[in-house]
Amino acid sequence: MSALAPGLLGYTFRWSIVPEVMGELAHGVRITLELSGLSVVFALALGLLVALARGSRLAPLRIAAYVYIQLFRALSLYIYVLWIYFGIAAAVGVNLSPLEAGVIALTFLNSAYMAEIYRSALGAVDRGQHEAAFSLGFSRPRAFATVILPQAIRVAVPSLVNQFVDIVKDSSIVAIVGTSDLMGVTTQLVGYYRAPFELYTVLAGFYLSIVLLISAAAAVLERRLQRHLR
Amino acid sequence: MIGYNANWNPVFQHWHEFLLGAWLDVWVTLISFVLACLLGVAVALLRLSGLRLLAWPAFAYVQLVRGVPLLVFLYWVYFGLAIVAGLAFSGVEAAIVALTLTGSAYTAEIFRAAVSSVDRGHPEAATALGFTRRATFVHVVFPQALRIALPPLGNTLVGLLKGATLISAIGVSDMVFQAQQINLSYFTPFEPFTAVAVLLVALVAVVSLLLTGLERALRLP
């Protein structure tokens, strides 16, 4: 180990190991993005279904969606992923990979939050838009798909992006069941190099960078979606 | 279920440990929440100070802390900071530090938004009545801001409670830790993890009910 620098209270920092581990961390970034990317896509789709059920005219469907949302919003990802990876896997007799368990847990948990975002966005679309679509002879599904939903999604984008950021951050918890995402890779590296401060600081920097990049991309997207208003 | 014989006996035999573990989660959450509120008010005041030298570091702090996952924070404090600073944190102490710092970034934003949303006319009226700047804040602005901040603060409290369930990852014997122990001793993963899921949902429901009651009690007539 070169470049030793004396630190606080006699601690010697070993920042020189950081360049050595960049390859592994880059692999970890890929897994983290895969994990959170898949989860966000599935959660967006499942969340829309739940939101539609929540706004349905059928009472049983509405109540089921309400219970679903309340239940998943009360659970922590940690407990949920342990429950799926160890509990459900044993009970049903399937063998899930840690990554699969992570995608399932992140998808279901976040679909509940996504459903609430969709619901408030759909509610924010002006009543007149429905009425105009119907008076033009649009069927209900067609009015929803071509008139209401596109406007709702524009309203929902900032909240959906926040949710995506939360998914990326929460995906670190999935490492508990043994994925080699950023978190998992770093924990293994800490075991090998025994430099927890340096490696976890770098890890925090990686997550922060991903989050800031997503926020920056979202700001561009939001500006594009507002173009027609200028 | 397919070939799985559910056995709830271990869970019922150890209900006492489960409840003690749950209590540990609640206790850590409450302490962290109170500290996060105090720290959050301080950070919010820095951001609202109007002095760029104070406001900018406070802004950077909030962005930094909100961009880092809680689990990373927990490991950073427990494994990293402890070695560097030469402090031997216990698991509970590390958990309280991590939860407080994470929580404070959220409460700071909540307090800032709440203080900003108090009608401008109120501090102006207080100033016209001869209140000092400090008295205006303490007696006029802050009490109103607190009421506005209550619902989002409740969300932060629930978020911290869910975050507190992570502490078994650094070896604190909370309710999740108990579930893991039972899984290891009896090879029955489904029942203990279901039990902690039910416990957490129940805890969140109780906290939500209390918060709704508090909001109703503090609502303006």
Predicted pLDDT at A3:
42
Q: Is residue B56 part of a domain?
A: yes
For residues B39 and A175, what is the distance between their CA atoms, to the nearest angstrom?
Answer: 30
Q: Is residue B162 part of a domain?
A: yes
CB A98 within 8 A of CB A179: yes
Q: Is residue B29 part of a domain?
A: yes
Q: How far is A112 from chain B (nearest CA, A)?
A: 14
Domain interval for residue A202: 19-225
CATH number of the domain enclosing B38: 1.10.3720.10
Give one word for A9, left, alpha or beta, with left for phi > 0 and alpha for psi -120 to 50: left
Q: Is residue B192 part of a domain?
A: no
Cβ neighbours of A102 in B, within 8 Å: none
Pairing of strands A5-6, A12-13: antiparallel
Q: Is residue A183 part of a domain?
A: yes
B218 — pLDDT class (breaks 50, 70, 90):
confident
Q: How far is B156 from chain A (nearest CA, A)?
A: 13
Mean pLDDT of A114-141: 92
**Which residue in A80, A200, A208 is closest to B67 by CB distance?**
A208
Q: How far is A25 from chain B (nearest CA, A)?
A: 14
Distance of CA A130 to the CA centre of its chain: 31
ipTM of the complex: 0.88
Express each pLDDT in A172-199 by its tens digit. Answer: 999 999 999 999 999 999 999 989 999 9
Q: Is residue B6 part of a domain?
A: no
Express each pLDDT in B160-171 by its tens digit. Answer: 999 999 999 999
Cβ neighbours of B83 in A, within 8 Å: 11, 196-197
Predicted pLDDT at A112:
96
B87 — pLDDT class (breaks 50, 70, 90):
confident
Predicted pLDDT at A9:
58
CATH number of the domain enclosing A176: 1.10.3720.10
Express each pLDDT in A9-41 by its tens digit. Answer: 568 888 999 999 999 999 999 999 999 999 999
For residues A156 and B152, what is the distance between their CA atoms, to the nearest angstrom?
Answer: 19
Phi, psi of B37 (to 5 degrees): -65, -45
Predicted pLDDT at A38:
97
Predicted pLDDT at A91:
87
The residues with which A12 forms a beta bridge, in sequence order, are A6
Q: Is residue B147 part of a domain?
A: yes
For residues B76 and B42, what is the distance between their CA atoms, to the nearest angstrom?
Answer: 24
Question: Any chain A CB within 8 A of the CB of B60?
Answer: no
Percent of chain B at pLDDT > 90 equals: 74
Q: Is residue B7 part of a domain?
A: no
* Other Cβ atoms within 10 Å of B151 Cβ, number: 13
Express each pLDDT in A32-84 by its tens digit. Answer: 999 999 999 999 999 999 999 998 899 999 999 999 999 999 999 999 999 99
Mean pLDDT of A112-130: 93
Express each pLDDT in A131-157 by its tens digit. Answer: 999 999 999 889 999 999 999 998 899
B4 — pLDDT class (breaks 50, 70, 90):
confident
Domain interval for residue B90: 23-172
Partner-chain contact B204 A183, CB within 8 Å: no
Helix count and strand count (H, E) for chain A: 10, 2
Express each pLDDT in B92-112 by its tens digit. Answer: 999 999 999 999 999 999 999
Q: Is residue A12 part of a domain?
A: no
**Which residue in A91, A172, A207 is closest to B1 by CB distance?**
A91
Predicted pLDDT at B11:
85
Domain count, chain B: 1
User: Is the pLDDT reported for residue B208 higher than 60?
Assistant: yes
**Overall size of chain B counted in residues:** 221
For residues A68 and A111, what is the distance between their CA atoms, to the nearest angstrom?
Answer: 10
Mean pLDDT of B190-215: 93
Domain count, chain A: 1
Mean pLDDT of B191-205: 94
Cβ neighbours of B4 in A, within 8 Å: 90-93
Q: Which of A153, A167, A157, A159 is nearest to A210 (CA)?
A: A167
Q: Is residue A5 part of a domain?
A: no
